[in-house]
């Protein structure tokens, strides 16, 4: 079977599923090492908060063992004096990273956040032992305050306008997406066949989920401009004025283009929801925000209309921990929209949630998400596992106590160094933009072909090859696995490179492979003329 025929079988696949085929091809090459820069799993691990987590577990076990039920059965921790006992536990160990950070974190919580020391330590102890269902189920109360403070610092650059966000701790950003799509439908804020807007290119599931039979949304693309640092042109944002568009979903900074929105674009969206589109649902997935200095979320600009999704997975090298939050402003428009639904829908929803609360009509959307996440009937066992919430708190406190931003500088420097290395070895200028997260980068192969070998060659390349041919041959001939950009609604035959998951020297090899393969195509083009 010819290559183009084989490729056609895979054209309809998500780039994440196509990646598995490419990995298989690259692995089959035998002696040459496979370089997989297809997935955005970071290859760094944030050490200090994890050391603190491990040491704190020892303290919590000590507390449990101090008053055992039986020789092998500990008890629940005792609140009175528990913070003092924690300070005794870390005393003399200040030269160790874990105990030292525990002391710094405790001081911050007590002195800067004015939280009672015993209450904080007890919540962390009980949570890390995992001996109770999450209570409150949406998120542990002190944990919510601390994570909220972290989001204020990283997503809002200050206090949340007009109040605070209610947070729902979830099993990573992917679970957050699933819960949001589901609850918007269950609560009649969206309906099958509705128009939704997507800020494209975008993380593929945001394209694929709306097309499922559960939703059947009509997608309107709000296109970033590749030639203007992947920003949203005013004409594209103007599409959101259409009252038939129910929601605008975006990844910010974007995935795969990895660039944050300019302040003027944020302001345009904010002005739109204040004036012409007060009912527009905004969903912003801000997982890469910490890789851009002075990043500001759409939730900070249009807080009442925005559903915020944040995940700790990328910044802290914690994809396996599944740590995420959904945030809704306490005075959001969604709760008001639910109260104004037609009577038949309100009666239906009151029945749906009647087993959870006594007055369902007053139940907030974010609390409905918690119930929906467990099909309502299992609401009493909902919530993110409490040990996961502890690590989320420790990650948050690690950055809150890092007044000089040393960790942020280190994390950003890793991906930026790889970014520069990649472009140097492709042989083209390194893109420069202050809003670039550098977590991924897009290489537009036809555009590069035109710049390097001329317009005629670029047209031949696109006309005579399937859109996935470039990533196919990179895997087959070089053992390099990259994502097909077209699957993200990026330009056809573009490639997405993750700058997070390989060592620095690998990006030099990837850059050379991209360049060498393009030269091979050029030689084939010249031979056929």
What structural domains does the chain harbor? 3-40+406-527 (3.90.1150.10), 47-129 (1.10.20.110), 157-387 (3.40.640.10)
276: Cβ contacts below 8 Å, ≥ 6 apart? 241
CB count within 10 Å of CB 456 equals 11
CA distance 291 to 437: 5
What is the per-residue pLDDT across 376-397, written as a single tens digit (0 to 9) for each? 999 999 999 999 999 999 999 9
What is the per-residue pLDDT across 453-485, written as a single tens digit (0 to 9) for each? 999 999 999 999 998 999 999 999 999 999 898
Relative to beta strand 35-36, strand 306-311 is unpaired
What is the per-residue pLDDT across 433-444, written as a single tens digit (0 to 9) for each? 889 999 999 999
Tokens of 176: 């957050």
Using the 8-state DSSP alphabet, how is residue 245 labeled?
Answer: E
What pLDDT score does 36 carry? 84
What pLDDT score does 261 carry? 97
Please give the C-alpha separations between residue 186 and each of 90, 373, 477, 512, in angstroms, as whole numbers: 49, 11, 48, 50
CA distance 436 to 432: 8
Angle at 423 between CA 418 and CA 426, to 5 degrees: 125
Please give the C-alpha separations between residue 133 and each of 47, 128, 129, 176, 381, in angstroms, as whole numbers: 28, 12, 11, 20, 7
Read off the pLDDT of each residue in 117-128 and give the average, rounded to a whole number.
98
Please give the C-alpha separations between residue 511 and each of 31, 110, 140, 257, 499, in angstroms, as whole numbers: 20, 49, 46, 17, 12
**Predicted confidence (pLDDT) at residue 10 exceeds the cutoff of 60:** no
432: Cβ contacts below 8 Å, ≥ 6 apart? none
> Could you report how far apart the first and last alpha carbons of the chain are, in Å?
25
CA distance 414 to 45: 12
Let me know: does 135 contact 123? Beta carbons within 8 Å: no
Please name the residue that has the structure tokens 């119930």.
371
> Is 243 strand, coil or helix?
coil
**Predicted confidence (pLDDT) at residue 32 exceeds the cutoff of 60:** no
What is the per-residue pLDDT across 125-150, written as a single tens digit (0 to 9) for each? 999 999 999 999 999 999 999 999 99
Let me know: does 143 contact 120? Beta carbons within 8 Å: no
CA distance 187 to 332: 15
Strand order in the sheet with 440-444: 440-444, 494-498, 483-484
- pTM for the model stands at 0.93
How much of the chain exceeds pLDDT 70, in percent?
94
Please give the C-alpha separations between residue 235 and each of 73, 281, 350, 426, 507, in angstroms, as whole numbers: 65, 19, 41, 33, 36
């Amino acid at each position: 079977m010819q290559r183009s025929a084989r490729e056609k079988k895979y054209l309809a696949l998500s780039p994440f599923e196509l990646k598995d085929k490419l990995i298989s091809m690259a692995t089959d090459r035998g002696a040459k090492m496979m370089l997989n820069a297809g997935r955005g799993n970071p290859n760094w691990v944030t050490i200090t908060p994890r050391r603190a987590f491990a040491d704190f577990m020892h303290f919590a076990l000590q507390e449990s063992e101090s008053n055992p039920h039986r020789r092998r059965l500990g008890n629940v921790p005792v609140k009175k004096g528990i913070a003092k006992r924690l300070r005794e536990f870390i005393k003399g160990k200040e030269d160790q990273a874990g105990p030292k950070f525990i002391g710094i974190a405790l001081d911050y919580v007590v002195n800067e956040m004015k939280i009672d020391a015993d209450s904080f330590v007890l919540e962390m102890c009980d949570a890390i032992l995992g001996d109770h269902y999450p209570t409150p189920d949406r998120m542990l109360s002190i944990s919510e305050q601390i994570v909220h403070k972290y989001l204020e610092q990283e997503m809002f650059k200050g206090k949340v306008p007009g109040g605070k966000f209610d947070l729902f701790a979830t099993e990573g950003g992917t679970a957050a997406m699933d819960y949001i799509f589901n609850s918007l439908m269950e609560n009649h804020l969206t309906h099958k066949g509705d128009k939704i807007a997507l800020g494209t290119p975008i993380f593929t599931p945001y394209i694929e989920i709306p097309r499922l039979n559960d939703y059947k949304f009509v997608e309107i693309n709000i296109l970033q401009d590749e030639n203007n640092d992947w920003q949203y042109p005013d004409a594209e944002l103007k599409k959101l004025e259409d009252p038939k568009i129910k929601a605008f979903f975006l990844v910010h900074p974007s995935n795969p283009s990895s660039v944050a929105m300019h302040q003027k674009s944020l302001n345009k969206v904010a002005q739109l929801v204040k004036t012409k589109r007060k009912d527009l649902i905004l969903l912003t997935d801000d997982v890469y925000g910490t890789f851009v200095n002075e990043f500001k979320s759409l939730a900070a600009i249009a807080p009442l209309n925005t559903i915020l999704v944040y995940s700790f997975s990328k910044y802290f090298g914690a994809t396996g921990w599944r740590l995420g939050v959904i945030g809704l402003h306490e005075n959001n428009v969604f709760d008001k929209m639910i109260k104004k639904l037609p009577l038949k829908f309100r009666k239906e929803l009151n029945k749906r949630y009647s087993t959870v609360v006594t007055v369902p009509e007053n139940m907030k959307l974010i609390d409905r998400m918690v119930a929906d996440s467990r099909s309502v009937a299992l609401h009493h066992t909902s919530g993110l596992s409490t040990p996961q919430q502890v690590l989320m708190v420790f990650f948050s406190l690690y950055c809150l106590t890092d007044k000089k931003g040393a960790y942020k500088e280190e994390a950003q420097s890793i991906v930026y160094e790889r970014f520069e290395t990649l472009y140097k070895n492709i042989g083209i200028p390194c893109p420069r933009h202050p809003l670039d997260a550098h977590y991924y980068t897009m290489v537009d192969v036809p555009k590069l072909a035109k710049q390097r070998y001329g317009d005629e060659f670029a047209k031949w390349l696109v006309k005579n090859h399937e859109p996935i041919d470039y990533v196919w041959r990179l895997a087959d001939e070089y053992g390099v696995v990259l994502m097909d950009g077209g699957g993200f609604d990026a330009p056809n035959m573009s490639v997405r490179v993750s700058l997070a998951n390989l060592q620095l020297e690998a990006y030099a090899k990837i850059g050379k492979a991209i360049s060498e393969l393009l030269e091979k195509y050029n030689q084939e083009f010249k031979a056929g003329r």
